[in-house]
Amino acid sequence: MANPIVALRAYRDGLHLIIKPHLSIAEVEEAIQQEISRMNRSLSGTSVQIVLKCPVLEEEEISLLRSKLQETYDLTVRGVEVTEAPVSAPIAAAPTMHTITPATDSRDSRDSEPSRIVPHTIRSGQTEEFPQGSLIIYGDVNSGSEVRAGGDIVVLGTLRGSAYAGMNGRLSAVIIAMDLAALQLQIGNYMHRPTVSQKPRGYPEIARIGAEDVIIVEKFVKF
């Protein structure tokens, strides 16, 4: 099961230590220990980037973490970055188990968001961007084009270009297309490259972040 507070991820630029909303620094330390022991190989000598997806830690807490990582696991901290946390979840109210599922930050943010309708096909080289909310496209999104939205992306046609939903960090954002044939999907910071199949599936599909923190694409039945 994925650790609810801390995640270790390998990216192109090296390891990322992602820290999500939590109750106390002690809890974070415990979670780090669990996460590292879960990995079967030694991380000794490697460097790690700390990515904060939570309300920012105190300066001294970070330096505490830094020295702790160095001493206990021989991990060098490359840097600390703060990515925008999901706006919800004030720490005190957060349950100990905070997993990101489409249901957590819920319909509310979706309902309060504006959406924009694009009543035509988006062609190669064109970009449609709407950071304030969701995009609904009455047409195709062709190969070589890009759609980006703060909220959801709904394509009432074939999605062949790249789509980036939840560009402001709303991880409950989804991408729905009548025919989802995109080469690249992105929701929040998560990226997905679906395996390309030549044949259209013949049913609409939805892409969203699943419980395992990866983008899953499945048949769209209902929301």
Partner 1 sequence: MGRVIVVTSGKGGVGKTTSTANLGTALALLDKTVVVVDADVGLRNLDIVMGLESRIVYTSMDVIEKQCELNKALVRDRRVDGLMLLAASQKNNKDDIQPEQMKAICDKLRTTHDFVLIDSPAGIERGFRNASAGADEAIIVTTPDVSAIRDADRIIGLLQNARIEPINLVLNRFSAELVGNGSMMDQDDVLDILNIDLIGVVPEDSGVITSTNRGIPLVYEDGSPGAQAYMRIARRLTGQRIPIPDFAQKGLLNNIMNWFKKKK
For partner 1, the binding residue among 53, 160, 170, 208 (CB under 8 A) is 160
126 scored as a contact of partner 1 (CB under 8 A):
yes
Which CB, 144 or 210, lies closer to partner 1?
144
CB of 9 to partner 1, least distance (A): 33
Q: Pattern of binders to partner 1 over 33-52, x per CB under 8 A? A: --------------------
Cα–Cα distance for residue pair 202/2, rounded to 1 Å = 33
For partner 1, the binding residue among 35, 88, 94, 144 (CB under 8 A) is 144
142 scored as a contact of partner 1 (CB under 8 A):
yes
109 scored as a contact of partner 1 (CB under 8 A):
no
156 scored as a contact of partner 1 (CB under 8 A):
no
For partner 1, the binding residue among 49, 88, 143, 168 (CB under 8 A) is 143
Work out the number of other CB atoms within 10 angstroms of the CB of residue 15. Answer: 17
3-state per-residue secondary structure call for 92-150? HHCCCCCCCCCCCCHHHHHHHCCEEEECCCECCCCEEEECCCEEEECCCECCCCEEEEC
Cα–Cα distance for residue pair 203/201, rounded to 1 Å = 6
Cα–Cα distance for residue pair 151/165, rounded to 1 Å = 6
57 φ/ψ angles, rounded to the nearest 5 degrees: -75, 155
- H-helix segments, the chain: 25-38, 59-73, 106-112
Which CB, 14 or 125, lies closer to partner 1?
125
Give the range of 7-15, 85-93, 116-124, 188-196 binding partner 1 by CB under 8 A: 116-124
114 scored as a contact of partner 1 (CB under 8 A):
no
Which CB, 16 or 123, lies closer to partner 1?
123
> How are strands ordered across the β-sheet holding 47-52?
6-11, 14-19, 47-52, 76-82
Q: Contact residues for partner 1 (CB under 8 A)?
A: 120-126, 139-140, 142-144, 158, 160
